A = this chain, B = another copy of it.
Amino acid sequence: MVTSIPVIRRLCRYYRHLEVLIEQGIERIASRDFAVMLGQTASQIRQDLNYYGHFGQQGYGYHTVDLHRALGDILAVPQKFPTILIGAGNLGAALVNHIDFVHNGFELIGVFDCAPQLVGTCIQRHTVADMAGIRAFCLQHAPQAAILCVPDDEAEQVADLLVRLGVQAFWNFTHRDLRGLYCEDIVVENVHLNDSLMTLCHLLGNRMPPALQTG
């Protein structure tokens, strides 16, 4: 086995559910019980974890705090990559307000927009800066990741610019796939809310047996 995207998403789930256990003061968990909690097989959990190392102990299970820290390291959460948000409209602002960046491995260091009526306004502790200054900002602060909340038809162009300014990761909320970038050492997570909603539409219009609903 190798680290495929589904495995990574499961690791995130494990990470979060461990937090719940730790909050509840639970010190150890067996793969069998964890599997019940997560609604998957114990085999899969052990398989997933074992790819990265030996985090458990026979006859005991997994130590919640240790495993949580180990998974955090694997997921690179403690690295807090410096990040900029491009596009401070409704969605961009909502993300700033709604997402706990630090807890997910990033630190938001700048918010940019090109609309004059938005530049200078505040979202949380961030003042929206003019896109005109993006180049100088990147040269100085070297953000490694960018959140794209720009209009669809600007996506590619903005991404290209940012790649040239050293950005290596994109959290893409536009409805375009960012693909031209893949050839380089650039990583992209396309969110595609439209596809997500349309998937729900299909599920509702063609009610499926519960076994298939795990998305």
Contact = CB atoms under 8 A, between A and B. Distances in A.
Interface of A: 2-5, 8-9, 11-13, 15-16, 39, 74-77, 79, 81, 89-91, 93-95, 97-101, 103-106, 144-145, 168-171, 175, 177, 179, 182-183, 185, 187-191, 193-208, 210, 212-215
A197 B187 CA distance: 12
A198 B77 contact: yes
A79 B175 contact: no
Contact of A76 (B175, B194, B204): B204
Contacts of A94: 90-91, 93-94
A13 to B, nearest CB: 7
A83 B145 CA distance: 35
A212 B6 CA distance: 10
A39 B178 CA distance: 11
A195 B99 contact: no
A8 B9 CA distance: 19
A113 to B, nearest CB: 14
27 contacts: A4-B212, A12-B194, A12-B202, A74-B202, A77-B198, A79-B201, A89-B97, A90-B97, A93-B94, A100-B194, A104-B198, A105-B201, A105-B202, A105-B205, A106-B197, A106-B201, A145-B200, A169-B203, A169-B204, A171-B196, A182-B213, A183-B210, A187-B200, A187-B204, A188-B213, A189-B200, A190-B215
Given A5-B215, A144-B204, A187-B204, A197 B105 contact: yes
A101 B4 CA distance: 32
A5 to B, nearest CB: 5
